[in-house]
A and B are shown apart, each in its own frame.
Chain A
Amino acid sequence: GQNIDQPTEMTATEGAIVQINCTYQTSGFNGLFWYQQHAGEAPTFLSYNVLDGLEEKGRFSSFLSRSKGYSYLLLKELQMKDSASYLCAVVDSNYQLIWGAGTKLIIKP
């Protein structure tokens, strides 16, 4: 079967750095997305990785290792507004999007 694993919940301190991991076992791979979702709201796009390596976009960076079936989202200089769920999603060989359950990130002052 297809599976995406993310930690259910993480806690971090305002101003710090946090890394949210995502491991996947899917039938093929055609890209990996990260979305942010605030409680009760719609997900919004953060990043898309299809090649190995690190993609940096402001305070957020996303890393991919296809050989390890692994990605992480790195958030720097955490702000209270970063409290949200972070969803990892993988495009499989049939070009279907497989979603993880999401990681709820709690930021403490």
Chain B
Amino acid sequence: DGGITQSPKYLFRKEGQNVTLSCEQNLNHDAMYWYRQDPGQGLRLIYYSQIVNDFQKGDIAEGYSVSREKKESFPLTVTSAQKNPTAFYLCASSKGGASDEQFFGPGTRLTVL
């Protein structure tokens, strides 16, 4: 079964700690994305990657970092510099660029205490 996975579903961390959210896809997609969603709001792009070993900042990259060492994997680190990290984080992938359908993982709900 092809798809995109994120783990864990729920994550709790203490303020000041870095945390890494995983995202893996076996769809052979070139592009991968990280979004943040807050209650009652749309998706906001954090980072995206069109190809291995390359990634670009989205609209709200401050306080986040990513890597793309493998085509299948695009982990997101939420650093202590992110002022308000509690949110629902969604990872997505697409075959090519923005005009291609995006497939989303189930999301990780991060709560910073």
A87-B98 CB under 8 A given contacts A42-B104, A42-B105, A43-B104: no
Interfacial residues of chain A within 49-100, with CB under 8 A of chain B in the complex: 50, 87, 89, 91, 95-97, 99-100
- Residues of chain A within 8 A (CB-CB) of B98 are 30-31, 91, 95-97
Question: B: which residues have CB within 8 A of A?
Answer: 40-45, 88, 90, 97-99, 101-107, 109
Q: Evaluate contact between B99 and A42: CB separation under 8 angstroms.
A: no
Distance of B29 from chain A, by nearest CB (Å):
14
Contact A100 B99 (CB under 8 A): no
Evaluate contact between A33 and B42: CB separation under 8 angstroms: no
A-B contact pairs, 23 of them (CB 8 A): A8-B40, A30-B98, A31-B98, A31-B99, A33-B101, A40-B88, A42-B104, A43-B43, A43-B90, A43-B102, A45-B101, A48-B101, A87-B42, A91-B99, A95-B97, A95-B98, A95-B99, A97-B45, A97-B102, A100-B42, A101-B41, A101-B42, A102-B41
Chain A residues bordering chain B, tally (CB within 8 A):
23
- Near B by CB (< 8 A), chain A positions 1-57 give 4, 8, 30-31, 33, 40-45, 48, 50
Q: Interface on A for B, CB 8 Å cutoff?
A: 4, 8, 30-31, 33, 40-45, 48, 50, 87, 89, 91, 95-97, 99-102
Q: How far is the CA of A42 from the CA of B33 in the complex (A)?
A: 13
Are A99 and B101 within 8 A (Cβ)?
Answer: no
Known: A30-B98, A91-B99. Is A44-B104 also a contact (CB below 8 A)? Answer: yes
Residues of A near B101 (CB, < 8 A) are: 33, 45, 48
CB-CB nearest in chain B for A101:
B42
Which chain B residues lie closer than 8 Å to A31 at the CB level? 98-99
A30 pairs with B106, CB closer than 8 A: no
- Distance in angstroms from A108 CB to nearest chain B CB is 21
Measured CB to CB, the closest approach of chain A to B21, in angstroms, equals: 14
